[in-house]
Amino acid sequence: MKRGNITVFLSLMLAVLLFFFQVCFQAARLAFLRSQTQEALELAEYSILSEYHRELFECYGLIYVDLGYGSGQEDTEYLEQRLRGFVHENLPEGSVKALEAWDFARASDESGMAYYEQAVSSMKQKTGTSLLQRLNSNEELGQQAQEYSEEYEKTKEREQNNLEELRRRREEEEQVHTPDPVPSVNTLKDGSRLHLFLPETGSVSGKKVDLKGVPSRRNCLIGSGARGIHKGNAGNDLFFHGYLLENLTNAVDFLTTDKEEGQWLDYQVEYLIGGKDTDIANLEAVCGRILTIREGMNYAYLQTDSVKKAECEALAIALVGATMIPGLVEAVKQMLLLGWAFGESVADVRTLLSGKRCAFWKGDGTWRTSLEGALNLQNSVSEFDKEEDSGGLSYEDYLGMLLVTMGRGTKTMRSLDVIEGVIRRIPGCGGFYVDQCTDWFRVRIVISNGREWAADRTFCYEW
């Protein structure tokens, strides 16, 4: 009787154990298949991401997959086809029931912030302390220069209006005409001034491009947006400015060397600032901005130099002669100081475009022009070409200052204009578009092997 009870008990236990082992084996099999699926997706990720755009990486250090694969037309179905091929290499045949790639992050997303973050990351990985200090110093100097420039513009307008009013009063009360103290300077302020800034204007690039359809002016494809790893702020802007100055060309690169003409516009940093369709127009815009900075700084220095102020006062007395109009001599003197600041600033810009350094804070030892030369600038500007100022700022430093004053979205999108324009002119890359470039997207796969389940994975470059 007892033996029979034991046999029934063991039979029941064996059934339970067999069911338990079957469940364990099935769970292990599913776990293996899931692991195999994730491994297959990981290998597919490496394969897909290895198909990054080579020319874009070689030229700008940016790593993106071109969803158009050189055709100019985005084709995510082809990407999915490539993915299926890679996945099938590592999974049982017929097990993949569905595969979808979606949620693409595009370089142009959020006014270029997606690309901005990758550019910042690349600079953070290789930028030395010295460059950061230099960029930070230029930002601080740029802010000071902006303040001086704004004050200078207000002073110039006020003094011009004051002089005109005093000249009018003198003509009415004394019937005496007061001559314009800086006629040649006022003439030079109108129109192009490149002939003053450059010894030979024939060396300036004559390139022109069609800006219709560039990323900053077209409706770009919209993706999932920036990752938020390196958000737009003042600190990251320094790295981004470093990236732009390192990877984009500027006028001095061509004016002072035998560098061959590049793709698209040659004066690319100038395009970021000017936004014009010709190198000449962008160079004039940048030189005009630098000239304004220098005018403010130079006028501020003249106000502290008693010798130069006395020279201007003596000339003002000679120009005005005897008069009973109070303040007229002082008004003419101020116009002479403004004219002298302009002449010195032209000499400064000329120095910068020659590839030399120019002192940011002027002193008697770094002042280049005479009052007579400044008032006859058209004929004497070449006389003020001197050696560079040791410890001064370069043309590139001033470009960095100007970049600081720009809106983040404007400079990021215009730099994408440059990148797209250059890459599209490389043989075989005519179908390149930045908004078809992705460095992050998701993949969903459905597997069936006795049982159906789905797996998701994010494909992205780690930077």
Q: Are 262 and 249 in contact, with CB atoms under 8 Å apart?
A: yes
pLDDT beyond 70 at 23? no
- The helix-helix angle for 328-353 and 306-320 (nearest 10°) equals 120
* Least reliable range by pLDDT among 5-9, 231-235, 326-330: 5-9
Q: How confident is the model over 43-74, as pLDDT tens digits?
A: 999 999 999 999 999 999 999 999 999 899 99
Largest CA distance in the chain: 145
Q: Give the list of residues 6+ apart from residue 327 with CB closer than 8 angstroms, or none.
A: 162, 166
What does the pLDDT read at residue 7?
73
CA distance 310 to 270: 39
Report the candidate in 443, 440, 462, 441 with the shortest Cα–Cα distance to residue 454: 443
Report the candidate in 266, 251, 229 with the shortest Cα–Cα distance to residue 124: 229
CB-CB neighbours of 9 under 10 Å: 10
pLDDT band at 392 (very low <50, low <70, confident <90, very high): very high
Q: How confident is the model over 78-115, as pLDDT tens digits?
A: 999 999 999 988 888 888 889 999 999 999 999 999 99
Q: How confident is the model over 123-151, as pLDDT tens digits?
A: 988 876 677 787 788 888 888 888 999 99
Annotate 349-362 with DSSP letters as a single string: HHHHHTT--B-SS-
What does the pLDDT read at residue 55?
96
Token code pair at residue 216:
């900053």
pLDDT beyond 60 at 3? no
Q: Give the list of residues 6+ apart from residue 298 with CB closer than 8 angstroms, or none.
A: 340, 341, 344, 345, 348, 362
* Least reliable range by pLDDT among 130-134, 162-166, 243-247, 457-461: 130-134
Q: Are 97 and 452 in contact, with CB atoms under 8 Å apart?
A: yes
- State the Cα torsion 263-433-51-409 to the nearest 10°: 90
Token code pair at residue 76:
């995510």
What percentage of residues in the chain have a pLDDT greater than 70?
A: 93
Residue spans of beta strands (DSSP E) within 49-132: 65-66, 96-106
What does the pLDDT read at residue 1?
47
What does the pLDDT read at residue 208?
95
What does the pLDDT read at residue 283?
96
Mean pLDDT of 15-40: 67
What does the pLDDT read at residue 31?
59
Report the candidate in 273, 253, 277 with the shortest Cα–Cα distance to residue 265: 277
Cα angle 183-186-188, degrees, rounded to a multiple of 5: 110
Cα 248–chain centre separation:
8
Cα 134–chain centre separation:
17
Q: Are 76 and 435 in contact, with CB atoms under 8 Å apart?
A: no
What does the pLDDT read at residue 387?
83
Q: Is 20 exposed, middle or buried (0-12, 13-18, 19+ CB in 10 A)?
A: exposed
pLDDT band at 309 (very low <50, low <70, confident <90, very high): very high
Amino acid letter, 449: N
Amino acid letter, 11: S
Sole residue written with tokens 């420039």: 149
What does the pLDDT read at residue 137?
84
Mean pLDDT of 151-174: 93
Q: How confident is the model over 397-426, as pLDDT tens digits?
A: 999 999 999 999 999 999 999 999 999 999
Query: DSSP 3-state assignment of 384?
Result: helix
- Residues 226, 228, 232, 236, CA torsion sign: negative
